[in-house]
């Protein structure tokens, strides 16, 4: 069993779009990769879950059947994962992509023990295609994979905010930022940070969450090195 600090970094699909809004902004992805490399130390192991919202959101489909729409979104996460892998390997970070839907010509299938072995060898592992099942978000994927690989925490990188607020700070100027919250607070206050399935999974497995802003890509380095930024969510506020 590794004694290193193993974390899951959750990157939204929107973050992969940079300032473009949709698609992949490779210049921004390259900056993300550099920040991940700077935050990777001899004492930590990094797994990454990427979303696909820069291409498609399954729940937003109006005509396409929800399950089919979700599978389309999963394919978007694979494109994001491959883009990030290419950027990381270009700067010397050995990286593996594992997908929940088998596509062996493109990436490895997700196998828990193989993923852990990659991490123990110092590789970054990117989990793509969500859980492989429709109706589950990539937030839930992050919580599930964190529990499976024994991660100590999930680092949730958000675009447009630097933590968790009482309301949307873009709409409500009186919104206040929380330094710390409990899982119960998230559910009780209906704060839209993670969906309720993901929050409950983290609560059941006592996996702390750190929510921080990604507009400054150096925040990834700070979060990986354990600096106090954003909002921490855990079982107790002690």
Residue 160 sits in a domain of what CATH number? 3.40.1160.10
For position 137, what pLDDT does the model report?
92
The pLDDT of residue 45: 96
Q: Write down the pLDDT at residue 236.
A: 76
**Parent domain of 75:** 5-234
pLDDT on residue 2: 57
Query: Per-residue DSSP letters for 152-182?
Result: SEEEEEESS-SSEESS-TTT-TT--EESEEE
Encode the chain (238 residues) as per-residue pLDDT tens digits. Answer: 556 799 999 999 989 988 888 899 999 999 999 999 999 988 899 999 999 989 987 777 778 999 999 999 999 999 999 999 999 999 999 999 999 999 999 999 999 999 999 999 999 999 999 999 999 999 999 999 999 999 999 999 988 888 998 888 888 888 889 999 999 888 888 887 888 899 989 999 999 999 999 989 999 999 999 998 999 999 876 5
The total number of structural domains in the chain stands at 1
Q: How far apart are CA 40 and CA 42, in angstroms?
A: 7
The answer to whether 212 and 163 have CB atoms below 8 angstroms apart is yes
Q: Name the nearest CA neighbour of 159 among 13, 22, 48.
A: 13
What pLDDT was estimated at residue 97?
Answer: 98
- Cα Rg of the chain, angstroms: 17
Q: Give the burial class of 172: count Cβ atoms within 10 A of its Cβ; 0-12 exposed, 13-18 middle, 19 or more buried.
A: exposed
CA–CA distance, 142 with 51 (Å, rounded to integer) = 10
Q: What is the pLDDT of residue 187?
A: 84
Q: What's the whole-model pTM score?
A: 0.93
Mapped onto helix, strand or coil, the DSSP state of residue 223 is helix
CA 194 to the chain's CA centroid:
11
């Amino acid at each position: 069993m590794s004694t290193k600090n193993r974390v899951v970094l959750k990157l939204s699909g929107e973050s992969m779009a940079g300032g473009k809004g949709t698609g992949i902004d490779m210049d921004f992805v390259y900056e993300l990769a550099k920040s991940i490399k700077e935050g990777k130390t001899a004492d930590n192991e990094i797994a990454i879950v990427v979303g696909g919202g820069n291409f498609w959101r399954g729940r937003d489909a109006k005509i396409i059947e929800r399950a089919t729409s979700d599978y389309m979104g999963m394919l978007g996460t694979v494109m994001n994962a491959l883009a990030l892998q290419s950027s990381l390997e270009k700067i010397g970070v050995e990286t593996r992509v594992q997908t929940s839907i088998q596509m062996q010509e493109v990436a490895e299938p997700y196998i828990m023990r193989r993923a852990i072995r990659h991490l123990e060898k110092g590789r970054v592992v990117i989990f793509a295609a969500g859980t492989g099942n429709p109706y589950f978000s990539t937030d839930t994927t992050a919580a599930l994979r964190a529990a499976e690989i024994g991660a100590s925490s999930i680092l949730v990188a958000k675009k447009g905010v630097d933590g968790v607020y009482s309301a949307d700070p873009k709409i409500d100027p009186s919104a206040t930022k929380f330094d710390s919250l409990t899982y119960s607070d998230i559910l009780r206050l209906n704060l839209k940070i993670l969906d309720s399935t993901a929050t409950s999974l983290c609560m059941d497995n006592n996996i702390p969450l750190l929510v921080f802003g990604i507009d400054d890509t150096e925040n990834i380095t700070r979060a990986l090195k354990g600096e106090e930024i954003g909002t921490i969510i855990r079982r107790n506020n002690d």
